[in-house]
Structure 1
Amino acid sequence: MKVFLGAVLAAAATFLCLPGVAAGQEAERAVLKALLSGGAGDVEVTEDFARAVPKAQLDGLLETLRAQVGPVEQIELVDGSGTLRSATYQVPVKITLDPEGRIAGLRLGAPEPLVADLRAAVAGLEGLGAEVSWLVTREGEVLAAGGASHPLAVGSAFKLGILSVLARDVRAGKTDWDRVLRLGDGHRSLPSGRLQDFPEEAPVTLHTAALLMIAESDNTATDLLLDLLGRDTVAEELAIAPEAMLSTREFFALKSDPAAARAWLDAEPEDRSGIAAEAASTPPDPAGAAAHSVPGIEWYLPLEQLCALLLPMADLPMLQLNPGPAYGLGPAAYKGGSEPGVLNFTVVLRDAEERPLCAALTVNDPGVIDEQAATGAFRALLRRALAHP
């Protein structure tokens, strides 16, 4: 039996999913009401759920929720999924009860501020960090924009450039999704992902590598594809200088080695590739790589470029497996990126008239970015953009 455990109130809002027959809708509503009003002591949970989320942790999360959104005034549920509403926020919720009426699964999404229109949603983005850019377009029309042409660090969202080149080559018949690549030690990067644990020379199809790169942001899959397609080609697709086109392994290696990072930043453009390759000749240090972002060592892209890349590819199924902050808002093509001090969301949705809409947000900050607040504000932007006349 698997328990998918994440922070119940985290931005991505991982669902704790356990087998069980769902009770009736009214029972789910009653249990949620008791949980929200009285806390974990007023409800029964399964043993697996209790191990995954101890009572004290659940009470702490509920207290945080109440402090953020105020008293919950309304619970809307259909088949266990729905929304909690306070006077100023709405919170996505999903609950599963076992046959005895005990909580077997619970998901609380990022609190989303209730806003009247697109302008009010944009106002909620401005204080998310030191540098913030946003963009909403619909069929070529700009509905909202702030700093959308200014390049900011976007983390793994640069992988859209790799997928764009690959998808174009497949359409042109230059290669095929079934083509098999062999994993080499030089491709092995740090998580996120799973390919870093595969043995050397493991066969990986282009489709599998691309799917892992997008849906799980697999960094080893990314470097495998970058090696195949060529840095200059991908850099051109991203409209960045070739010497700025780091592999993820090089990025981690430079970030975790201050001396190498300084040398790379100070070097002439023609010398940067050699410095990056030397730094990445040994596996990067995971602890150093997890530190705060280093200005200048990143992938800097404007939101206009990210939407231009994502829109033509939005129908690719691999872009729709992980909807990111757009979960529950309809079929979505999504790729984002993050590291400490860097956050990006880029998504394509279709409105009620089936018009494609691209919305993107980037936040850069020398301190800590509140990803939950950013997720809620971005969802409010998406919701108002979808409803915009």
Structure 2
Amino acid sequence: MTLRAWPIVLALATMFLATPASAAPSPAYQARAQQLLRILAAPGNETDFFAPLFLDAVPVDRWRATAADLRAQHGKPVALGAVRTESATAGQVEIRYERATVGFTLVVAPQPPARVIGLHIVGARTRDDSLDKVMTDLAALPGQSAIAIARLTNAGPQLVRARNAMVQMATGSSFKLYILAELARATAAGERRWSDVIPLGPKSFSGRLMRWPDAAPMTLHSLATAMIAESDNSAADTLLLALGRNRVDAMVTASGHADPARTLPLLTTAEAFALKMPAAADLRARYAAATPDARRVLLRDAAARLTAASVDIGSVAESPVAIDSIEWFASPTDSIALLDRLRRAGGDALPILAVNPGIAPADAKRWRYLGYKGGSEPGVIAMNFLAQARDGDWYALSASWNNPAARVDEPRFVALMTRALNLLAQHAPSR
């Protein structure tokens, strides 16, 4: 349900540092630069390379996830590039991957054995890439994929690139954008205030709030932030029911969804995964075949069977289950229309969307603003971005990948979307 945040060491800039070298790298610094190439290529020897101070902040498993995601995005690391030092212990190192050159700031301890105490990803240069190549790589994914990239104008979204852009796709937690849009509408209309306090509940599996006290008082703003930035399921279910499912369903239609009957009513996360349980096979078949009105009746009549207590998350953790029938469906163009609505609504929804940019901060900083919400589960991944270029122009990107036969490769998809956003930012004019 929750798309994990892109794992990073630290990423604070959008380009390689340009400080001129003050001295040739020392033998100890050069050795650590060479070792960086090796540990980026394959796990192992991290405790020899990193100082305990670094590993306290970035555990080995997080580092390995970072290295794996860099390989997914850029291919294998193949050579050490330029090494520039600013002092005996600090400088910049470039690692040449198959498809890009990635820059790092590298800081080593002054005392032997000069273990690494600081390592920051500071940017990447991708060689000979293009949106056309991204589209080709997306088309090669097993299963079905869809994408739309649009420039957002006063006359409506203008497509820049599209593939299967009108196809209804399973989108996982992306449905939470509809809840956010209804909350934005209600606050703008004076029906709600972001500071309004409501009790937490009903709780759902997965997420930080699942462990909070029952009925804990929370503001609508806090719930919305947890729902979007952390994809917290308890926050989403609480807001969906507090705002009124009928009102959020109406937002699906009002936002321009091309086939609302496919996805309505919007299920809570607890209902969706309770319906996927083996014990609910009878309800699942009836739900999939029913009209939206009949589904609403089923949800009401079977409410006792469709709670988080009925969910054995192990049953859906490894393999896709009913992703073509029990899901939240939208096409990329549907999602872009929704993102454009949120853009035009403005207000507190935009800062909430920007808390978790969905990609590495170094890449996110290519944009003046980057908002994000995604979703994933076995067989499903979706990513939705609302971006403002340096010149003030707005863009939206929405893409999904479904495979009912197997898990999808999430890092591979994140890498594709990062490439697409970086290319879009590169070609968007700046002033």
TM-score by length of 1: 0.81
Distance 1:73 1:297, change over 3 A: same
Match of 2:159 in 1: 142
RMSD across aligned positions (CA): 3.8
Q: 2:340 aligns with which of 311, 324, 346?
A: 311
Q: Deviations over 1:310-361 (max 9, x none)?
A: 2343562111110112632323100011001000111122223221111121
CA distance change for structure 1 residues 41 and 308 in 2, over 3 Å: closer, same or farther? same
* Deviation of the 1:235 alpha carbon: 1.8
2: CA distance, partners of 1:304 / 1:320: 21
* Residue 205 (structure 1) aligned to one of 219, 236, 241: 219
Matching of residues 277-288 of structure 1 within 5 Å: 277-281=303-307, 283=309, 284-288=311-315
Q: CA deviation at 1:115?
A: 4.0
Aligned 8 A contact 1:136 1:143 in 2: yes
- Superposed counterparts of 1:227-238, under 5 Å: 227-238=241-252
CA distance in 1, matches of 2:140, 2:410: 12
**1:345 alignment partner in structure 2:** 383
- Identify if the C-alpha distance between structure 1 residues 114 and 337 changes in structure 2 by more than 3 Å, giving closer, same or farther: farther
Does residue 388 (structure 1) correspond to residue 405 (structure 2)? The answer is no
In 2 relative to 1, CA 126–190 (structure 1 residues): closer, same or farther, beyond 3 Å?
same
The 5-angstrom pairing of residues 213-362 of structure 1 reads: 213-239=227-253, 240-241=260-261, 243-257=264-278, 258-259=280-281, 260-267=283-290, 269=292, 270=294, 271-274=297-300, 277-281=303-307, 283=309, 284-291=311-318, 292-294=320-322, 295-314=324-343, 316-325=350-359, 327-329=361-363, 330=365, 331-362=369-400
User: Any idea what the Cα deviations from partners look like across 1:218-259, whole Å, max 9, x if unmatched?
Assistant: 100001100111112212222323743100111121122352
Number of corresponding residues: 369
Please list, as runs of the form range in 1=range in 2, the aligned pairs for 1:54-73 lying within 5 A after superposition: 68-73=75-80
Partners of 2:92 and 2:315 lie apart in 1 by 40
1:302 positional shift: 1.0
Rounded Cα–Cα distance in structure 1 between residues aligned with 2:379 and 2:359? 18
Alpha-carbon distance between aligned partners in 1 of 2:31 and 2:69, rounded to the nearest angstrom: 14
Partner of 1:7: none
2:190 is paired with a residue of what secondary structure? coil
Compared CA separation, residues 35 and 176, structure 1 to 2 (3 A) = same
Question: CA 1:175–1:95 in structure 2 vs 1: closer, same or farther (change >3 Å)?
Answer: farther
Q: Secondary structure at the match of 1:383?
A: helix
Residue 44 of structure 1 deviates from its aligned partner by: 3.5
Unaligned runs of 5+ in 1: 1-9, 18-23
Displacement, 1:151? 1.1
Question: Which moves more between the two structures, 106-115 or 341-350?
Answer: 106-115
Distance 1:134 1:275, change over 3 A: farther
Counterpart position of 1:5: none
Tell me, which stretches of 5 or more residues in structure 2 are unaligned? 12-18, 254-259
Residue number in structure 2 paired with 1:89: 100
Aligned positions of 1:83-122 closer than 5 A: 84-91=95-102, 97=108, 100=111, 101-104=114-117, 114-122=127-135
Please state if 1:47 is matched with 2:81.
no
Structure number with greater Rg is 2
Query: Secondary structure at the residue paired with 1:143?
Result: strand
